[in-house]
Structure 1
Amino acid sequence: MSMKRGKGNTKKVWLVVLIVAICALGILAGYYMAGYLAKKPAAVNQPVQTNQPSQQLQEENDQNATSQAQKEQATNLQPSEQQQQDTTISSEVYKAFARFDGGIDAHTIQLSLLNTEFDYKEFEIDEKVKKGVELSEGEIVEIEFEKPQDGGNPRIVSLKKPDKVTLKGKFVGLADNNFAEFVFDQKHVVLQISNVADKVSYLDENTDVEVTFKTNPQNPQSNPVVKDIKVLK
């Protein structure tokens, strides 16, 4: 009986050991699974953290590309702005015909404009512009001048003596058989018409005409002489 009890106790001991071992293995398996699951999200999130510098680099590249495009656009606009500035400068230069009334000093002359809307009388002129041009009072000149910006006198940039002048205007009326009055750009001008009296005598007042005239060859200070006149329709 004692031997049977000993064997029974031995079996119970092994059974307890087996149960304890199984429990220990279960606990170890639980710890392993818990550690694996805890590490797995970290492994998944790691690429996201790695992508953050790449996204920041991409944003910087986009900003640099935008800045470069703006610089190129500004560079492309510069010729247009310069061209616009050149057009503005050229638009301030005007062409006109006038009669020379004399010089005031070495750099200023007096003119009576025959056309244009301006009423300038005194013009600044450089020596190099009038070099080689001999003027007598009353002679007709062709000028290009810059409109003054500060209220001063206009500055002549080109000066020539034309053989003849052709302007479009209106016939105002006869002063007598030898002279007639015309209007060119609001400028009233009296011209000698002896050579074209037959063409002028039948004209009505305010008739649109094209008049060709020149400096009086016998006396430049006298009224310019009409060479031809045409009625405009």
Structure 2
Amino acid sequence: MPNILIVDDDINILKLVEIHLSKQGYIVLLAKDGMEALKILQKKQCQLAVVDVMMPYLDGYELTKEIRKKYDIPVIILTAKNQMEDKEQGFQAGTDDYLVKPFEPKELAFRIRALLRRYDKQQDDSVIQIGNTMINKKSYMVQIGDRTIILPLKEFDLLYFLFTNPMQVLSRNHLIEQVWGVEYEGDERTVDVHIKRLRGRFSNLTDDFQIKTVRGVGYLLEARRG
């Protein structure tokens, strides 16, 4: 069953939601603030997060932004506020849904099921396989046979982009734009450093692919045939 992360500084809300969702078969993980939530996400693979807005240390909007940077999971924001500006701020932060307190636990469960179904439909598009190497955009994991490799975020994003564009010559500038964003102010050496790290990690693990240097242009991911 899916792991559902509930983040709220109100212990009564945590217990209420935990009881209701556990009865429906979900594995419920609880956090009392945003910092604790991020620690849980680093250790446990969650399929959805329910996040309260008003929390100490890291509020729900900032936590949602952090989740969006690192994890591809749906987020539902809980709040006592019902103003349009607050809803707008929530969606700008990257939330998928918005539920105003007080709420019926059944309604929360309906919304969770709907979001999990929507994300499940996108699952196939997020998994790319070359030979015995599979890269999963949802879990941010690389699987080679029965071995799982977890990469730093930008290394993963770079490898994923190369996997989605095999046998294509990609310039350093293009890789910067796609992986780091058009507003990135660093130089092209960043790409070279990350490519070197990826080669170091995978050269002795698999021959499913190689990252080739195209002199004066950039890089190409060569996939093994057959």
Pairwise same-fold verdict (TM > 0.5): no
- Structure showing the higher strand proportion among its residues: 1
Query: TM-score, structure 2 length as denominator?
Result: 0.19
Q: TM-score, normalised by structure 1?
A: 0.19
